[in-house]
Amino acid sequence: MAKQFDRRQVLSAGVAGVAIVGLAACSDSDSDETTEQGLTNTTPTSMPTNKVVAKTTDVPVGSVFKFNDPNTGIPAYILQPAAGTFIAYSSKCTHQGCIVEAYPDASGFSCACHGAKYDSVTGAPDEVTSKTLTATPLAKISLTIAGDQISVA
Ligand code: FES
């Protein structure tokens, strides 16, 4: 004999089914959240970390310090042209990509491949001959100084 359901049982089952479907629609396996405006908030899985490349004592005022840029794997230079002012440049020549060398007195950089020379403070090509080879300065590397630690992002 078939079981008979009263009206209240049928209504309860219907409401429960709608609630389950509604919950499933709200669940999301991603960590992203969607706002009422339809915008997606994405939480980064990790924050960029700074990589220590030198100590401030490695770069006395008026000197140059060579290190390997952890982001590119190629050599780079940190200079301290004035007390407390640290700047860094990639050693990649902007003419055709050779590695430039820093002058020992930190007054500039030169490229042995075709002779380009760069200013140590601005990173720009600093002679007429150099400017005919390239107009682009050496790539500047952003530094963070925390205590005696010099790091790159
Ligand atoms: S690659 Fe440096 S001057 Fe040509």
Q: How many structural domains compose the chain?
A: 1
The best mutation among 74, 110, 114 to test binding of ligand 1, ranked by most ligand atoms within 8 Å of the C-beta, falls on 114
Between residues 111 and 1, which one has the greater pLDDT? Answer: 111
Does residue 37 form part of some domain? no
Assign 41 a pLDDT band (cuts: 50, 70, 90): low
Measured distance CA(123)–CA(88) in Å, rounded: 9
Q: What is the pLDDT of residues 99-136, one digit of tens each?
A: 999 999 999 999 999 999 999 999 999 978 788 999 99
The best mutation among 98, 110, 132, 136 to test binding of ligand 1, ranked by most ligand atoms within 8 Å of the C-beta, falls on 98
Q: What is the pLDDT of residues 140-150, one digit of tens each?
A: 999 999 999 99
Does residue 19 form part of some domain? no
Does residue 68 form part of some domain? yes
Ligand 1 contacts (CB < 6 A) are: 93, 95-98, 111, 113-116, 133
Structure tokens at 22: 């509604």
Specify the residue with its C-alpha closest to ligand 1, atom 3.
114
Specify the residue with its C-alpha closest to ligand 1, atom 1.
96
Measured distance CA(94)–CA(134) in Å, rounded: 6
Kindly calculate the radius of gyration of the chain based on its CA atoms and give it in whole angstroms.
30
Above 70 in pLDDT, residue 95? Answer: yes
Structure tokens at 113: 């491949």
Does residue 9 form part of some domain? no
Instruction: Quote the domain boundaries for residue 82.
Output: 51-152
Does residue 8 form part of some domain? no
Does residue 2 form part of some domain? no
Structure tokens at 62: 């008026």
Does residue 131 form part of some domain? yes
- Closest atom of ligand 1 relative to the 96 alpha carbon: 1
CATH code assigned at 113: 2.102.10.10
Does residue 16 form part of some domain? no
Pairing of strands 51-55, 149-152: antiparallel
Measured distance CA(120)–CA(83) in Å, rounded: 15
Reduced to 3 states (helix: H, G, I; strand: E, B; else coil), residue 56 is helix
Look up the pTM and report it. 0.69
Q: Give, as one character, the DSSP assignment of residue 105.
A: T
